[in-house]
């Protein structure tokens, strides 16, 4: 089934040239945030044969480009055990190649309207000379400030971005004090439809609401249709397990402690993590109590699922509706 949350969106004019050169609209909202002056620094991956055209288009927006290294992406399972610190690789798994390498692979680039900020850009872990090279921890801890994230969210990230001990999304949920705001919804940050890329400290974080609200207002002046689509997607109800596994539920309505819905969409391009999609498609309602997920159809129980905790990337399922 086609998943609209993973669709491409082509802006009418603002940033359209950049997205055309990139070949996709990923990070569209972040590019707009950078150009509009809300985000100090952004990084992306651009095909080497497109890099000169990309840099020229960036200059038209007053954006400077710093090239880092060429990425030769590889699945972690294909990395030899002889590579030192292989086990510390997370979602980024790639060999770093010199910029002069004759290849059509992607160049990791940093973008900013301030040349001085480019000097503070932090590289991603890459494999060089049989070793994974990491940025210094001091740089890592300060990087959120360079990216323009709120102080409160940076402090929260430092404490809870530990995939062995915590589920960051769940800890944010526990800290939320009022109605979750769609401006604090980080779940679609790896799609085109998101105002933020950071993990907020609360789903009602005042600093994030202020930052994202101002950005939304300015984007609406240039691309109102984009904002209307984004708002609609961000305001859905979500069934969340952890950062790489969650579902958007269409037309969701609570009746007592049962959530009725029309369709469940897995919000990721990695289908291997879509563990519950088939079961959710068969159901039209669900009940979540603790770690047990009960799926129903027509008022009848279809299946009870006990969600495992996991020792890495622990899963703490919860339901959340953003308004």
Domain range annotation of the chain? 238-321
How distant is the alpha carbon of residue 313 from its chain centre? 16
Q: What is the pLDDT of residue 12?
A: 92
Residue 274: CB atoms within 10 Å: 14
- Number of helices (H), then strands (E), belonging to the chain: the values are 10, 15
For residues 93 and 199, what is the distance between their CA atoms, to the nearest angstrom? 22
Q: Which residue has the tokens 């740089």?
A: 139
Helix axis angle for 151-160 and 206-222, nearest 10°, is: 120
Question: Distance between alpha carbon 124 and the CA centroid of its chain, in Å?
Answer: 16
Total number of residues shown for the chain: 323
Helix ranges, the chain (H): 16-22, 28-35, 51-60, 115-118, 137-146, 151-160, 168-175, 206-222, 224-234, 277-282
Nearest 5°: the CA angle 254, 256, 259 is 30
CA 236 centroid distance within chain: 16
In this prediction, residue 2 carries a pLDDT of 66
pLDDT tens digit at each of 323 positions of the chain: 568 788 888 999 999 999 999 998 989 999 999 999 999 999 999 999 999 999 999 999 999 999 999 998 888 888 888 889 888 777 778 888 889 999 999 999 999 999 999 988 877 788 888 898 887 766 766 788 889 999 999 999 999 999 899 999 999 999 999 999 999 999 999 889 999 999 999 999 999 999 999 999 999 999 999 999 999 999 999 999 999 999 999 999 999 999 999 999 999 888 889 999 999 999 999 999 999 999 999 999 999 999 999 988 999 999 999 98
Rg (CA), the chain: 21
Using CB atoms within 10 A of its CB, is residue 46 exposed (0-12), middle (13-18) or buried (19+)?
A: buried
User: How far, rounded to the nearest angstrom, does the alpha carbon of residue 317 sit from its chain's CA centroid?
Assistant: 19
**What's the CA angle centered on 39, arms 205 and 147, to 5 degrees?**
75
User: What pTM was computed for the model?
Assistant: 0.90
Strand-pairing partners, residue 294, are 287, 304
Separation CA 230–CA 227 (nearest Å): 5
| Residues 318, 182: Cα–Cα separation, whole Å | 16
């Amino acid at each position: 089934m086609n998943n609209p949350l993973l669709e491409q969106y082509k802006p009418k004019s603002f940033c359209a040239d950049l997205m055309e050169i990139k070949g996709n609209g990923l990070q569209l909202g972040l590019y707009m945030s950078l150009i509009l002056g809300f985000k100090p620094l952004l990084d992306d991956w651009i095909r080497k044969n497109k890099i000169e055209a990309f840099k020229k288009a960036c200059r038209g927006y007053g954006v400077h480009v710093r090239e880092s290294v060429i990425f030769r992406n590889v699945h972690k399972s294909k990395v030899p055990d002889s590579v030192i610190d292989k086990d510390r690789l997370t979602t980024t798994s790639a060999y770093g190649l010199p910029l002069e390498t004759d290849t059509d692979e992607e160049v990791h680039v940093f973008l900013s309207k301030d040349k001085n900020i480019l000097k503070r850009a932090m590289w991603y872990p890459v494999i060089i000379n049989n070793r994974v090279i990491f940025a210094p921890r001091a740089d890592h801890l300060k990087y959120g400030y360079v990216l323009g994230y709120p102080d409160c969210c940076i402090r929260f990230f430092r404490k809870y971005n530990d995939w062995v001990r915590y589920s960051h999304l769940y800890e944010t949920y526990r800290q939320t004090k009022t109605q979750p705001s769609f401006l604090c919804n980080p779940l679609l940050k790896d799609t085109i439809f998101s105002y933020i890329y950071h993990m907020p400290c609360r789903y009602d974080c005042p600093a994030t609401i202020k930052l994202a609200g101002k950005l939304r207002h300015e984007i609406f002046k240039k691309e109102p249709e984009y904002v209307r689509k984004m708002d609609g997607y961000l305001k859905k109800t979500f069934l969340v397990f952890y950062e790489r596994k969650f579902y958007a539920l269409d037309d969701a309505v609570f009746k007592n402690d049962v959530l009725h819905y029309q369709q469940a969409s897995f919000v990721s391009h990695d289908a291997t993590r879509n563990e519950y999609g088939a079961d959710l498609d068969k159901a039209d309602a669900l009940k979540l109590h603790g770690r047990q997920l009960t799926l129903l159809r027509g008022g009848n129980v279809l299946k009870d699922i006990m969600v495992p905790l996991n020792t890495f990337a622990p899963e703490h399922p919860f339901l959340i509706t953003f308004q």
